[in-house]
Amino acid sequence: MLDVYLVRINQDLAENDFTRLLRYAAPEKKERILRYHRREDAQRSLVGDILARYAICKRLGVSNAALAIGQNEYGKPLLLKPTGIHFNISHAGEWVACAVADSPVGIDIEPLKPVDYKLAESFCAKEEYLFLQQQPEETRLKHFYHFWTSKESYVKADGRGLSLPLASVTAAANCSYFTAELDNYILSICVLSPA
């Protein structure tokens, strides 16, 4: 089963709301959040953590105090206790997204903003890059972000993150993908099949 949660942050959190939410984060997460130089990055990170905790608690029927969240050796957040489900978080611009699943999951959200398409050479397989070049200008940007977010969601689900070369990641048989457009953003989710 897959649960997806989205929160739109279209204005700064009031200082008292930020402080109140910060109480629910684990001590090491609080430290990381407070080290951000930009307020909007700290807000997105905090809301992502709170959203993940809410989603996990709701799914498992446990309290926030019962959760222990850590990271694997590549930095992917994982649930240490209780066990049995997987989660992932993404944030960009106004959106924070969280996916919770029974097997490894990755999620990525990106705003549809202009890019230099030469960047695609570095993360697309040759066939994907050729496909992208052949697309009409009005749809090329969406295809670019579809490739980017799909690959990003896969490497996050896999757990190795960007240590995996994105150009080597193509549609894998061992996973399910979901991609959607949301208010000028592209959201992609990858759920790996149980072993």
> Which CATH number do you get for residue 186?
3.90.470.20
Clarify whether residues 19 and 86 are in a common domain: yes
C-alpha to C-alpha distances, 124 to 120, 151, 154, 164, 193, nearest whole angstrom: 5, 9, 14, 13, 23
Say yes or no: 36 and 87 in one domain.
yes
Q: Of 103, 133, 157, which residue sits at a domain end?
A: 103
CA distance 15 to 27: 19
| Euclidean distance between CA atoms 107 and 87, whole angstroms | 9
One domain, residues 23 and 94:
yes
Q: Are residues 82 and 160 in the same domain?
A: no
CB-based contacts of 30-34 (< 8 A; 24+ apart in sequence): none
Query: What range does the domain containing 130 cover?
Result: 108-192
pLDDT lower than 50: segments of the chain: none
- What distance in Å separates the CA atoms of residue 6 and residue 24, rounded to the nearest whole number? 19
On whether both 114 and 166 belong to a single domain, the answer is yes
The pLDDT score that the predictor gives to residue 125 is 80
Residues 99 and 113 in one domain: no
CA 69 vs. chain centroid, Å, equals: 16
| pTM: predicted TM-score of the whole model, two decimal places | 0.89
Question: Do both 176 and 98 map to the same domain?
Answer: no
Tokens 């759920």 identify what position? 191
Contact between 143 and 151 under an 8 Å Cβ cutoff? The reply is no
120 and 44: one domain?
A: no
Which of the listed residues 81, 103, 125 is the one where a domain comes to its end?
103
d(CA 79, CA 70): 6
Both 94 and 134 in a single domain? no
Examine the domain organization and report whether 97 and 156 are in the same domain.
no
Overall number of domains in the chain = 2
Chain segment 116-142, per-residue pLDDT in tens: 888 887 877 888 888 988 999 899 999
Q: Quote the pLDDT of residue 166.
A: 62
Residue 172: what pLDDT?
62
Of 80, 103, 126, the residue that ends a domain is 103
**9/76 same-domain check:** yes
Query: How many angstroms separate the CA atoms of 86 and 78, rounded?
Result: 7
Distance CA 53, CA 59 (A): 10
Tell me how far apart the alpha carbons of residues 104 and 86 are, in angstroms, rounded to a whole number: 5
pLDDT value at position 20? 93
